[in-house]
Amino acid sequence: MKRASGPVMNKGATVLTRNPALSELETRVLGRITEERWLKLAGELIRTGQPRSGNPLDPDLPGAEEEAIAMLVAGKLEALGMEVTTYEAVPHRPNVVGVLKGRNGGPSLMINDHLDTYPVAEPEKWDKTGFDPFTATRHGDLLYARGTSDTRGNLAACLLAAQALIDEGVGFDGDLIYCFCVDEERNGTHGSIYLTQEIGISADYSITAEPTAWGEVGNGNWGMNLSIANSGHCLIEVAVEGAKSHIWRPDISVNPVVEAARLIPELQSMTFAHEPSAFMGHTPPCTTIVRIRGGLEGEMQFSPDLCVITMAVVGLVPGMTIDGIIGDISAVAGRVFAGRNDISARVRQLPGSLFVEATEPSPPDQEPCISLQKAYSRLMDGKMPELNRKNAFNDTIRLREAGINAVTFGPGEDGWAVDNEYISITKAVAAARIYALTIMSVLNGTDA
């Protein structure tokens, strides 16, 4: 059905000033993506299923239970007319896949996001949300709460894009797939790994709605990167062994805590063998110390004989391996403790953790990069997104491993606030509109 040109008012839509670069259909779709709608949806998603959705990376702690948020999202996709299926590798952790079938057998596009969040360990630090980390609270252009940036705010943006397209009656040549995974914060074992390797979920192209945003909206210098590659990472354990003694006899002790204190600065500043990549990422291959354990409960009368250092090795680029990383760390420990037979250091991958390899870039001159860049430029005053390598893990990695042209693009802040997590409302609405235009472009969306 043809409609009159110029600004159009639809029920629940906003009148947009007619942009000559946009078609009438595109203008109507974007008019349905509003700040008010995003805020309402984001607040609902942020609260649902918490704190059970918090998923620590620690392999010795229980994982999340994303069932509540999964059921909410599944219902929303069903309401949009998608064929929805849930897939559980373990109880209470359903992955959600919604499919809107295309009409002409064209290429398929997946929009991906995850349902778990970081856990909250210290709610007393969340002063921006009245000390309730799961109550979405607005301060100016920023919305604060756990999951705003990573990644319920991004989830709201991609759901809002789908709703706008479907409510406006847009039809597609190829399949539109919405794939929402559990267990992303723990590298995807029960989520994207399970879906791609066991279930066989696939698509021609994929966009993961994860944080790639930068800059402050207030000063006009802001945007969202297009991450065409991802860095890898792993968890490493270094066990420093010495000799126990009574606290009254420190002269005969070889205290591994003291020796570990000598080793840690060398680990923190070490370099790793690697071949530089065209997209190196903002963080080079390096270490972050995340836990130190020494001494036994009930033995405070004695110095310990073991100190265990746990570290994350991040910023990995293609070609780096777990054996190479362990070898580099062992060489540093060997230099620090050279010539001594009273102290030793054993290096291994942290039991229960996964080694995540870096990915090769998705071609920027292929979909979905072509359509994403075009949509970005049309809505961001001719600017283009910067192409980069994302430092953190997200499900893009597993989708790339499955042979999909997968990239990451989202309004969340690519800085990972530990407490008082936030997202820009302006960026979230802009991203939802970019998603909508990108979906239309990749799938040849037209009036149904």
Mean pLDDT over 215-225 rounds to: 92
Predicted confidence at residue 20, as pLDDT, reads 66
Give domain limits for the chain.
Answer: 24-230+359-447, 232-349
Query: What end-to-end distance do the CA atoms of the chain give, in Å?
Result: 8
Query: Is the torsion defined by CA of 184, 190, 196, 201 positive or negative?
Result: negative
CA 446: distance to chain centroid?
31
Q: Which tens digits make up the pLDDT trace of 45-60?
A: 999 999 999 999 999 9
Q: How confident is the model at residue 17 (pLDDT cuts 50, 70, 90)?
A: low
Predicted confidence at residue 313, as pLDDT, reads 98
Q: Is the pLDDT of residue 13 over 60?
A: no
Helices 67-79 + 153-167 axis angle, to 10: 20
Q: How confident is the model at residue 4 (pLDDT cuts 50, 70, 90)?
A: very low
Q: Which of 332, 312, 314, 302 is nearest to 240 (CA)?
A: 332
User: Quick one: what percent of the chain has pLDDT higher than 90?
Assistant: 90
Q: CA-CA distance, 436 to 73, in Å (whole number)?
A: 18
Q: CA-CA distance, 407 to 403, in Å (whole number)?
A: 12
Report cis status (omega within 30 of 0) of the bond before 151: yes
Segments in 292-395 forming alpha helices (H): 322-336, 369-379
Residue 5 exposed, middle or buried by CB count within 10 Å (0-12, 13-18, 19+): exposed
Q: Which tens digits make up the pLDDT trace of 58-103?
A: 999 999 999 999 999 999 999 999 999 999 999 999 999 999 999 9
Q: How confident is the model at residue 280 (pLDDT cuts 50, 70, 90)?
A: confident
Structure tokens at 274: 């690697």
Give me the phi and psi of 270, to 5 degrees please: -70, 160
Q: CA-CA distance, 428 to 84, in Å (whole number)?
A: 25
Find all residues with CB under 8 Å of 35, minimum gap 6, and list them: 425, 429
Residue with tokens 């990573």: 150
Top-level class of domain 24-230+359-447: alpha beta
**Whole-Å CA distances, 405 to 27, 323, 366:** 28, 28, 8
Q: Is the pLDDT of residue 159 over 50?
A: yes
Q: Which tens digits make up the pLDDT trace of 341-374?
A: 999 999 999 999 999 999 999 999 999 999 999 9
Q: Is the pLDDT of residue 417 over 90?
A: no
Q: How confident is the model at residue 182 (pLDDT cuts 50, 70, 90)?
A: very high
Strands of the sheet with 142-144, listed across from one edge: 137-139, 142-144, 422-424
Q: CA-CA distance, 332 to 336, in Å (whole number)?
A: 6
Mean pLDDT over 261-282 rounds to: 93
Q: Is the pLDDT of residue 155 over 90?
A: yes
Helices 256-269 + 322-336 axis angle, to 10: 120
Q: Is the pLDDT of residue 394 over 80?
A: yes
Mean pLDDT over 246-274 rounds to: 95
Mean pLDDT over 136-164 rounds to: 97
User: Quick one: what percent of the chain has pLDDT higher than 70?
Assistant: 95
Predicted confidence at residue 5, as pLDDT, reads 28
Q: Which tens digits make up the pLDDT trace of 302-333?
A: 999 999 999 999 999 999 999 999 999 999 99
CA 326: distance to chain centroid?
26
Top-level class of domain 232-349: alpha beta
Q: How confident is the model at residue 12 (pLDDT cuts 50, 70, 90)?
A: very low
Q: How confident is the model at residue 6 (pLDDT cuts 50, 70, 90)?
A: very low
Q: CA-CA distance, 358 to 417, in Å (whole number)?
A: 23
Q: How confident is the model at residue 219 (pLDDT cuts 50, 70, 90)?
A: confident
- Calculate the average pLDDT of the chain: 93
- Equal fold, 24-230+359-447 vs 232-349: no
Query: Is the torsion defined by CA of 188, 191, 196, 198 positive or negative?
Result: positive
Predicted confidence at residue 174, as pLDDT, reads 97
